[in-house]
Amino acid sequence: MRRHYAPERERRGLGWRAGRIRPDVNGGSRVIEQDELSPLVAAAQAGDRAALERLLVRLRPMVLRRCSRFLPHYADAEEAAQDALLSISLHLAEYRGRGSFLGWVTVIASNAARSTYRSMRRRAEDSSAVLPEGADPRTTSVIAGTRLDLMESLAALEEQHPALVESFVLRDLGDLTYLQVAEITGAPLGTVKDRIHQARRFMRERLGAGA
């Protein structure tokens, strides 16, 4: 079974055994229920390092799936997922039980994926690398110079309509319900639905123009 190694900064900061996030061998691909995580969250917030490690192992498949919605190349999604898990571990004490814990995790994963994309795009723009002829953009990392239409469109949405981005990302890429999005953003449900509708229209027009 493949082992997922954490970056050096995580090994120093978290002290995980052998410096790695151990794979979840007990059904990591199944849907996580909020209630089953609550004891781990409480124990980890109280300083239990073993509970923190178990919590991160349980969250990792979900976080990786969330990041993959933004970054189809596995290595890119994995980089973002590692950053998200590190952020979760460092900021876990800030979660006060207001709203869904998994919603809170989704926000962190989404932000990490978008941050990873922006970082890779900057590196690609600074690089003289050219994609080989015939390279498939669906499986080629943006580090190599490819353009991901979804992320480019999201960047345009953020630049032109910043108030629409968070609700759209959480609903359509984070798979949260409208009520969960309203809870996280603090906006009325009607406002959330309107923002998502506007964002979807913008994204359809943007992606359609690039087809």
Cα 129 to Cα 59, 69, 72, 75, 149, distances in angstroms: 35, 25, 20, 18, 19
Same domain, 135 and 179: no
Percent pLDDT > 70 in the chain is 72
The pLDDT of residue 118: 83
pLDDT tens, residue by residue, 88-143: 999 999 998 877 899 999 999 999 998 988 887 777 666 554 444 444 444 444 44
Same domain, 201 and 142: no
Residue 79 sits in a domain whose CATH number is 1.10.1740.10
Count up the domains in the chain and report the number. 2
Same domain, 72 and 170: no
Q: Distance (Å, rounded) from C-alpha 63 to C-alpha 82? A: 9
What residues contact 25, with CB distance under 8 A and at least 6 apart?
A: 1
Same domain, 114 and 191: no
Q: Which of 147, 176, 198 is the last residue of a domain?
A: 147
End-to-end CA distance of the chain: 40
Q: Which of 147, 172, 191 is the last residue of a domain?
A: 147
Same domain, 24 and 64: yes
Whole-prediction pTM value?
Answer: 0.68
pLDDT tens, residue by residue, 28-68: 445 677 778 999 999 999 999 999 999 999 999 999 999 98
Containing structural domain, residue 180:
148-211
Is the four-CA dihedral 160, 164, 169, 172 of positive or negative sign? negative
The pLDDT of residue 125: 65
